[in-house]
Amino acid sequence: MMPLIDRFSDSQMFPNGTGAPIALEAVDLCMTFNEGGGSQLEILKNINLTIKAGEKIAIVGASGSGKSTLLHLLGGLDKPTSGQVFVDEKDLFRMSEKERCRVRNNYMGFVYQFHHLLAEFSAEENVAMPALVRGTSPSQALTKAEILLEKVGMTGRLKHKPAELSGGERQRAAIARAVINEPRCICADEPTGNLDKTTANQVIQVLLRLNKEFDTSLIVVTHDMELAKKMDTIYTIESGHLKAL
């Protein structure tokens, strides 16, 4: 596979193999929280979902319906009560924590509603971080970070710390950080939740461009129907069940 830098500079697509391979698959996912007094809260009930390479989906639904819970399970951030999530044909929850972290860092990208950038590091250092964790050399990681920050329209903001960036710039930096390891799939929880319309639109365009140029799958949890409508399929969670709208 061609290195990221060449691919970005040539604006080439990820090779997508034959057809569209599966980026992520959830099988019979259940999540139940134990409440006090022995009662249980069944939030997700037997969720099945297959996401192909390049596919983009939105998950909408009432507050408290389980959207973030599902996203955390799909990304291996939480363990389900039962069920499986396959990434790269391996079940995320039948591997060691160390292996799960490696798979997450190599195959998945996360964008949270509140960016979670590290305050003491510059934009380019924040973006470079997952590549450094993966073992990329610092100079290569920073070069990749610069290219990505330019891609998301942040030339001239490379050395700024998060507190010196606008909300939209922080979110765009968070997206650049999410994609530096060339993930197959980006999980985004309310990526436009705290942004004004214009800035939200910029963030949406960045996500869509990554999807188009690099065939990155998108799983976007959102209340924003404008964003949801730009996805291939919109799902909702009702009474613990996932339904396509």
* Smallest gap from residue 113 Cβ to ligand ATP (A): 8
Please report the DSSP string for the chain in residue order: ---HHHHHHHTPPPP--SS--EEEEEEEEEEEEE-GGG-EEEEEEEEEEEEETT-EEEEE--TTSSHHHHHHHHTTSS--SEEEEEETTEEGGGS-HHHHHHHHHHHEEEE-SS----TTS-HHHHHHHHHHHHT--HHHHHHHHHHHHHHTT-TT-TT--GGGS-HHHHHHHHHHHHHTT--SEEEEESTTTTS-HHHHHHHHHHHHHHHHHH--EEEEE-S-HHHHTTSSEEEEEETTEEEE-
Do 186 and 231 form a contact (C-beta atoms < 8 A)?
Answer: no
Say which entry of ligand ATP, Mg ion, none residue 69 contacts (CB below 5 to 8 A, set by partner kind): ligand ATP
CB nearer ligand ATP, residue 3 or residue 64? 64
Q: What amino acid occupies position 29? A: L
CB nearer Mg ion, residue 13 or residue 41? 41
Q: Residue with CB nearest Mg ion?
A: 68
How much is the CA Rg of the chain, to the nearest whole Å? 18
Say which entry of ligand ATP, Mg ion, none residue 198 contacts (CB below 5 to 8 A, set by partner kind): none
Residue 219 contacts ligand ATP per CB under 6 A = no
CB nearer ligand ATP, residue 6 or residue 35? 35
- Tokens (6 digits) for 39: 């009662």
* Smallest gap from residue 103 Cβ to ligand ATP (A): 22
Instruction: Report the alpha-carbon distance of residue 103 to residue 90 in Å, rounded.
Output: 9
Residue 171 contacts Mg ion per CB under 5 A = no
Q: What amino acid occupies position 184? A: R
To which H or E segment does residue 1 belong? none
Q: Which residues between 53 and 92 bind ligand ATP (CB under 6 A)?
A: 61, 63-69
* Smallest gap from residue 209 Cβ to Mg ion (A): 25
Q: Would you give the binding string for Mg ion spanning residues 51-90, x where CB under 5 A is met?
A: -----------------x----------------------
CB nearer ligand ATP, residue 61 or residue 130? 61
CB nearer ligand ATP, residue 68 or residue 126? 68
Among 33, 101, 225, 243, binds ligand ATP (CB under 6 A): 33
Residue 43 contacts ligand ATP per CB under 6 A = yes
* Smallest gap from residue 189 Cβ to Mg ion (A): 6
* Smallest gap from residue 187 Cβ to ligand ATP (A): 12
Applying CB under 6 A, which residues contact ligand ATP? 33, 41, 43, 61, 63-69
Applying CB under 5 A, which residues contact Mg ion? 68
